[in-house]
Amino acid sequence: MNGTVIHIPGTGGYDVPCRIAAAGDEKKAVLITHGFGSAKEGTTAQALLEFLPRHGVAALALDLPGHGESPCGILRLAACLDDIAAAETYLRQRFPKAELTYFSSSFGAYLNLLYLSSRPHTGVRSFLRCPAVDMPEQFLSWITPEQRRQMEREGRFYMNEDDPRPVAIVQGFCDDLAGHDVFRLFRPDGTKLAMLHGDRDETIPLADVQRFAAQFSIPLTVAPGQDHRFQGPGGMELVQSTFLAFLEA
């Protein structure tokens, strides 16, 4: 695995597990937020932790609540935003003179849009890969009737049950999503944004992302032949090179 595991102080009564790759004197730093069901060991995070330091950029990826090695087993939006803020605080302290950029994927990109709109932040750029801009609606489409019944019986159900750590879903998380529509809540604040989306994304409809990009005048690059995870030929290399160009622009 790329990057060194560290645990940084959070505000929820637990430490936030992260992976960091840095020499220590970088002038740019990137905070990486993974997608739903992924982790700091996910494919995209690992590719960036390997790639960015070779270009003089520090990179840190965190585990969101309910994911990876996070001690927080309950997935709620406020806890996610708190842990992202803790990761930013750590980066600011370790690299006080570095320019901070956010890189986020899918659900993590949805969180980043909420974060930029509701929390103090110092990042000057944000790159959104396959952003789940309509996460409330998309999440409802992922839930099966049996999972709904399990929620009614037990107060929670688990998604990605075949994964080493299934994601526990409680009613509060569903309520969180229902109250957080980024089409309504996003507030551009001068942060420079860009989006990258595959035209064969089977998880997040390209049309939703195009609508969001048009509403907020955000540059959108559409990648032909790429799915949600950019598993097509040259997909991850395209993610890396497009993001590097964004960093250097």
Q: What is the pLDDT of residues 41-68, one digit of tens each?
A: 999 999 999 999 999 999 999 999 999 9
Residue 22 forms part of a structural domain: yes
CATH of the domain at 115: 3.40.50.1820
Q: How confident is the model at residue 160 (pLDDT cuts 50, 70, 90)?
A: confident
**What is the model's pLDDT at position 129?**
98
- When divided into structural domains, the chain yields a total of 1
- Asked if 121 contacts 146 with a C-beta cutoff of 8 angstroms, the reply is no
Please determine, for residue 165, whether its predicted confidence score (pLDDT) is greater than 90.
no
Amino acid in position 201: D
The whole domain housing 236 covers 4-134+182-248
Which class for 207: exposed (0-12), middle (13-18), buried (19 or more C-beta within 10 A)?
exposed
**What is the model's pLDDT at position 163?**
77
Mean pLDDT of the chain: 96
Percent of all residues in the chain with a pLDDT value above 90, rounded to a whole number = 93
Residue 26 forms part of a structural domain: yes
Residue 173 forms part of a structural domain: no
Which class for 199: exposed (0-12), middle (13-18), buried (19 or more C-beta within 10 A)?
exposed
Residue 83 forms part of a structural domain: yes
Better pLDDT: 152 or 164: 152
> What's the token pair of residue 154?
């037990």
**What is the model's pLDDT at position 25?**
86
Residue 142 forms part of a structural domain: no
Q: Which candidate, 36, 139, 33, 30, places its Cα nearest to that of 83?
A: 33
Q: How confident is the model at residue 24 (pLDDT cuts 50, 70, 90)?
A: confident
Q: How confident is the model at residue 172 (pLDDT cuts 50, 70, 90)?
A: very high
**What is the model's pLDDT at position 150?**
94
- Please write the tens of the pLDDT for every residue from 128-157: 999 999 999 999 999 999 999 999 999 999
**What is the model's pLDDT at position 179?**
97
- Please write the tens of the pLDDT for every residue from 65-113: 999 999 999 999 999 999 999 999 999 999 999 999 999 999 999 999 9
- Please write the tens of the pLDDT for every residue from 187-238: 988 899 999 999 999 999 999 999 999 999 999 999 999 999 999 999 999 9
For the segment 154-165, the average pLDDT, to the nearest whole number, is: 86
Please determine, for residue 9, whether its predicted confidence score (pLDDT) is greater than 80.
yes
Residue 153 forms part of a structural domain: no
Please determine, for residue 164, whether its predicted confidence score (pLDDT) is greater than 90.
no
Q: Which candidate, 220, 208, 146, 148, places its Cα nearest to that of 183?
A: 208
User: Backbone phi, then psi, for 60, in 5-degree steps?
Assistant: -135, 130
Residue 156 forms part of a structural domain: no
Residue linked to tokens 């950019």:
230
Residue 177 forms part of a structural domain: no
